């Protein structure tokens, strides 16, 4: 095992765990899934509850897949897609820094970049993708990750209806 193998495993595991925790918090934390849906609706996502279910499911699934190193480009696309939506509907208006009121976009920007990096580099040698022979790092993986941004753009065009006061 090389230092690169260990570094990719660590990076993938941390990003996956963060994303898994984020999704589980939307489902079980605070106002639970219903509260997340109300929050999404307040941000202009229609219908809010349906988007909460889908976004939380994608976050949990992508987090688990990243931790395992399984279908890594698809998991990266899930990270990219959900975080691009979060960036646009909630964070961009608050400026760059996450410590600003309402939270800026620096955190979601790092997660978007992380999803793209993992999709493009692949999961590394210590992964289920490698074990079962489906690791495809490179342009195809990167483009798969980028498809998350395309999906986010379509979702926003079809379902985001922010109020005039936003």
Q: In which band, very low, low, confident or very high, does the pLDDT at 100 lie, cut at 50, 70 and 90?
A: confident
Looking at residue 166, its pLDDT comes to 56
Domain-located, residue 56: yes
Q: Could you read off the pLDDT of 31-50 as tens digits, one per residue? A: 999 999 999 999 999 999 99
**What SS3 state is found at 160?**
strand
DSSP line for 50-115: HHHHHHHHHHHHHHHHHHHT-SHHHHHHHHHHHHHHHIIIIIGGG-S-TTSTT--SHHHHHHHHHH
Looking at residue 22, its pLDDT comes to 95
Domain-located, residue 166: no
Instruction: Report the chain's mean pLDDT, rounded to a whole number.
Output: 94
Domain-located, residue 146: yes
Q: Could you read off the pLDDT of 101-156 as tens digits, one per residue? A: 888 999 999 999 999 999 999 999 999 999 999 877 789 999 999 999 999 999 99
Looking at residue 142, its pLDDT comes to 96
Looking at residue 30, its pLDDT comes to 85
From 123, 122, 117, 55, select the one nearest 90 (Cα to Cα). Answer: 55
End-to-end CA distance of the chain: 50
Q: In which band, very low, low, confident or very high, does the pLDDT at 51 lie, cut at 50, 70 and 90?
A: very high
Query: Which residues form the domain of 17?
Result: 3-159
Domain-located, residue 43: yes
If one counts the domains in the chain, the total is 1
Domain-located, residue 118: yes
Whether 161 shows a pLDDT value over 60: the answer reads yes
Residue bearing tokens 């395992």: 68
Domain-located, residue 63: yes
Domain-located, residue 15: yes
């Amino acid at each position: 095992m090389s230092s690169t193998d260990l570094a990719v495993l660590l990076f993938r595991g941390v990003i996956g765990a963060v994303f898994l925790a984020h999704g589980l918090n939307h489902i079980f934390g605070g106002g639970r899934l219903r509260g997340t849906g109300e929050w999404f609706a307040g941000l202009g996502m229609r219908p809010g509850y349906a988007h909460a279910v889908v976004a939380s499911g994608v976050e949990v699934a992508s987090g688990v897949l990243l931790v395992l190193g399984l279908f890594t480009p698809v998991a990266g696309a899930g990270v990219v897609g959900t975080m691009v939506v979060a960036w646009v509907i909630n964070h961009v208006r608050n400026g760059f820094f996450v410590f600003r009121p309402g939270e800026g976009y620096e955190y979601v920007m790092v997660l978007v970049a992380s999803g793209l990096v993992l999709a493009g580099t692949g999961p590394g040698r210590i992964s289920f993708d490698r074990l079962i022979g489906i690791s495809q790092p490179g342009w195809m993986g990167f483009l798969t990750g980028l498809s998350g941004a395309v999906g986010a753009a379509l979702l926003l065009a079809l379902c985001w209806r922010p109020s005039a006061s936003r």
